Structure 1
């Protein structure tokens, strides 16, 4: 019996549209994010009839897709979206591309012209070049594409798409002609699929043995657990490697909380000169062997591997493991599992951190959290926002931070939430508000959101759907009326200036309580008030437009030096 077979007795007849919903539900997906259109209206009607599936309609396809990304991360199942042909899916393409780069499984459902429409000598609305344009675009930003043409093969094709999304932790594309939504099909239930477990692979074992040989010659090796470690739940074998080999490990901006920062071998977030802790910068400066596991060498992690001679680098990412100058075709999961299996204790242990090395590296216990760092009547700056949120996270250590790109992202490098959801590699603005809605729907946990005013202008309107969805994020808008992360220079004001909006008043229009904070004490009071409310709350945190966080300053100065760009 196939793993997709659930037994003939459980089979039942239904329409193809309802079959799509049934496959989503059997995979643990309880919410489908969508914007109905003329090519999907009947499909949406059929999906509404699916037991266990709620349709979450939103305002724009990009924000809708970001909500599905947050949902996938929060619920640990593939996200699912459904859009109309052409204008809908193409609007969503930036979010789909983000899922591809950030390694988030996502099922993209799209309507399409029926066969007779395709054959007719008429140029259909929503078409760009021809009726295959959208399909060609999706080839670039999804790991698997299928156009359903035979209703009786749809069940197998849908499950194959889900299997690819899980195996590759990337989006897949399913196109359904609109003349097939009511086609009769037979549905046979099946167990929920899962990503394939690590498997024995000779190249993976060869790479693991080569890695141990490299480490034996190293004086100061460092491990970086990357994005794939998080996506594929590989924390246990990587922790075993860290402990057995007595390796210090650092997070990167892309992969915070891949392992627990409470681990004694943790040495901070590495972002080159923007690293919050001095001990982190010193550790990487002295590193003579680097294990970069599950992450590309990116400008976001300051090209962390570029400073290491090629012969002293181990990098596993996207099906390839490089050990020194040798390359092995092996999945990161297979390699990590093999390395954990054969690792034996190295000579010498890892010294404990000294007290003076811990600032900016580890969160302070709640009883030690500062409460008099800044006078309550002092005007808000990025530094004060960092301090106040760290106080909040110390008191509520299970809180996830959903943070957008810009200075908000760099400020978050100095914060200590339980987890972080952001666009850390693709770096596309807009994820914070819709991502938080999806995250809370998926996880049931209330997040704190940190978003700049520029990013809020892009997708913040999705907050109007929070109350209807039954979610209650605490949204802090960094209102400095500028794209400050690009430049805080007065000479660039005409390029970076944002409209002076009253975000607290705007929140009221969205049916959300809005509060304004211009002083540190007000921000603290508003956070405390938000915790007493079982509803979404927005705090308009008005900060000086001429200031940006020191982490942002360091990062962009380093990027300019790295790329030989002029300094502003």
Structure 2
């Protein structure tokens, strides 16, 4: 068994453990202290000449770790993955202009998926901005606001510091916005304000970002209407979606399920919010892409209670829900709808416990009825001929490999998953939970493969499953299966972990060659081409111990794809018809 990794390694004695006095604190340190208070301990980013004074403070902070990514896009993806698992702010630091622009794609993804990320941009001094100097990294026209204006479109709040007065309040405001609204925020931090001091007193009071109480009379009315709908229904079911997690309502959702006794299902983005071994759990609902037993129970219900619904195309089977609005109760972070009635300001965080208490009466009877109708999933390997690893065989076999609290990262925007895995692995280590598994295609891997080096640098030990199907298979499923634009330049994955590792010195190589008891490698590559090879590998006890970073290249047939993914690709291709 590997030695446990420390969340924060011992610091050199020369390292400063604080940068503030009882009364005054540097603006940069104020921000970092707030991040630490919120539970953010890993900071992603790339150095640049306008942010390095701030990076000094990060490296000197006793509770923070500077990660240092290969590029800004990857850093934003890592912040996204970190926020998902840590359920707090992901933080990414870039430099002005070229650096921040590179991060925007990742930040935009966090905006669309409702994740709190703070994008901290080191910008030129207030004097340089005031004189409209034609600095490098600008557009050459003296406009210093161009880039921040771009970020406003993908941020729920922003602060551009111009002076030290009010800086602490501005920082607190955007952090609260990020946490309460589960969206990214933007902060421009000029070089000359990083070390400027402000009062430190506010840091003694933790930030408050819980939702405000619902209007008491309105809430009582909404509860009575909801209860009336459910009481009259012959059948009611619960559908849990992503925003139940994004807005801190996981425990409240679980309480509703327990007390109500109702069947519960999840969307793809709501997967794992509810324990899939729970007796009331029935499976995943994706509109027309849903398995028939799940679809039958959910779509025939008289009332559907939706928690934190996020009806994107991939999350809803290309908008193919067959759940009439008249039979739907939707609970969101800041409003509720029942049928065709809309109740603004009635948020689920406060409403759910009261709805749970109301439905507790009769919960056991409903639970007994639930046991009769909820479909039960059994993970069975298909009886296939041949040695090739099909998608139909791969995923049931992987399901047998996973352990409780394992973190699994797959698909998404091409390239997102590799950077996100870095953030997920960091968060999992800080929380001391489960192993981290990445499933990525050989094509997607190439977009952000550099972050494998960052994983090695920080001693992370994820399992990197590379599905080698000779190119962009998801794109082939959508359009152009024989087109060359869906092909890629093949990589030699067998040397990838070595390539991203520090080369051994001549002395180390010599010592290893003469050692009778050489140290085990901190990395390992496997090439897997048959069902038998994969089965034996996944069954190996040593392989199941996450004591090193592993890259497992699984060769799967070109043209093969999971059934649900193929059907989603067909729906996407149909929606994108070119003639």
TM-score norm. by structure 2 comes to: 0.83
1:67/1:438 contact within 8 Å kept = yes
Deviations 1:16-52 (A, max 9, x none): 3333322322322221111011111222123222222
The aligned residue for residue 213 of structure 2 is: 199
- Given candidates 337, 340, 361, the residue that maps to 1:322 is 337
Deviations 1:477-533 (A, max 9, x none): 111122222324775432322222222222321234322111122223444354345
The aligned residue for residue 434 of structure 1 is: 419
1:154 Cα deviation from its structure 2 partner: 2.1
CA pair 95-501 structure 1, distance change in 2 beyond 3 A: same
1:380 aligns with 2:389: yes
- Identify unmatched segments of 5+ residues in structure 1: 1-8, 406-427
CA pair 319-136 structure 1, distance change in 2 beyond 3 A: same
1:315 Cα deviation from its structure 2 partner: 1.9
CA pair 182-241 structure 1, distance change in 2 beyond 3 A: closer
Aligned-partner Cα distance in 2 for 1:502–1:384 = 25
Aligned-partner Cα distance in 2 for 1:564–1:32 = 39
CA pair 475-559 structure 1, distance change in 2 beyond 3 A: same
Pairing of 1:124-523 with structure 2 (within 5 A) = 124-128=135-139, 130-188=143-201, 189-193=203-207, 195-196=209-210, 199-202=213-216, 203-275=218-290, 277-300=291-314, 301-302=316-317, 306-329=321-344, 330-345=346-361, 349-350=366-367, 351=369, 357-358=375-376, 361=377, 378-393=387-402, 396-405=403-412, 428-444=413-429, 445=433, 446-488=435-477, 491-511=481-501, 512-523=523-534
CA pair 357-215 structure 1, distance change in 2 beyond 3 A: closer
CA pair 341-534 structure 1, distance change in 2 beyond 3 A: same
Aligned-partner Cα distance in 2 for 1:265–1:198 = 31
- Identify unmatched segments of 5+ residues in structure 2: 1-19, 502-522
Aligned-partner Cα distance in 2 for 1:22–1:454 = 40
1:190 Cα deviation from its structure 2 partner: 2.3
1:60 aligns with 2:53: no
Deviations 1:513-559 (A, max 9, x none): 32211112222344435434512111111111121111212333345
2:157/2:184 contact within 8 Å kept = yes
1:346 Cα deviation from its structure 2 partner: 5.3
Moved more, 344-353 or 233-242: 344-353
CA pair 187-213 structure 1, distance change in 2 beyond 3 A: same
Aligned-partner Cα distance in 2 for 1:490–1:140 = 33
Pairing of 1:51-130 with structure 2 (within 5 A) = 51-128=62-139, 130=143
2:27/2:198 contact within 8 Å kept = yes
2:428/2:436 contact within 8 Å kept = no
2:247/2:333 contact within 8 Å kept = no
Deviations 1:83-103 (A, max 9, x none): 111111111111111212222
CA pair 546-502 structure 1, distance change in 2 beyond 3 A: same
1:546 aligns with 2:559: yes
1:228/1:332 contact within 8 Å kept = no
1:127 Cα deviation from its structure 2 partner: 2.4
CA pair 344-96 structure 1, distance change in 2 beyond 3 A: same
Quote the RMSD (CA, aligned, Å): 2.8
CA pair 11-402 structure 1, distance change in 2 beyond 3 A: same
1:16/1:182 contact within 8 Å kept = yes
Deviations 1:111-152 (A, max 9, x none): 112222123253333224721112212221111111112224
Moved more, 182-191 or 315-324: 182-191
1:356 Cα deviation from its structure 2 partner: 11
Aligned-partner Cα distance in 1 for 2:494–2:257 = 46
CA pair 100-63 structure 1, distance change in 2 beyond 3 A: same
Aligned-partner Cα distance in 2 for 1:551–1:477 = 20
CA pair 279-548 structure 1, distance change in 2 beyond 3 A: same
CA pair 80-21 structure 1, distance change in 2 beyond 3 A: same
TM-score norm. by structure 1 comes to: 0.84
1:467/1:535 contact within 8 Å kept = no
1:472/1:534 contact within 8 Å kept = yes
Q: Secondary structure at the match of 1:164?
A: helix
Aligned-partner Cα distance in 2 for 1:335–1:303 = 30
Q: Secondary structure at the match of 1:259?
A: coil
1:204/1:338 contact within 8 Å kept = no
2:438/2:462 contact within 8 Å kept = yes
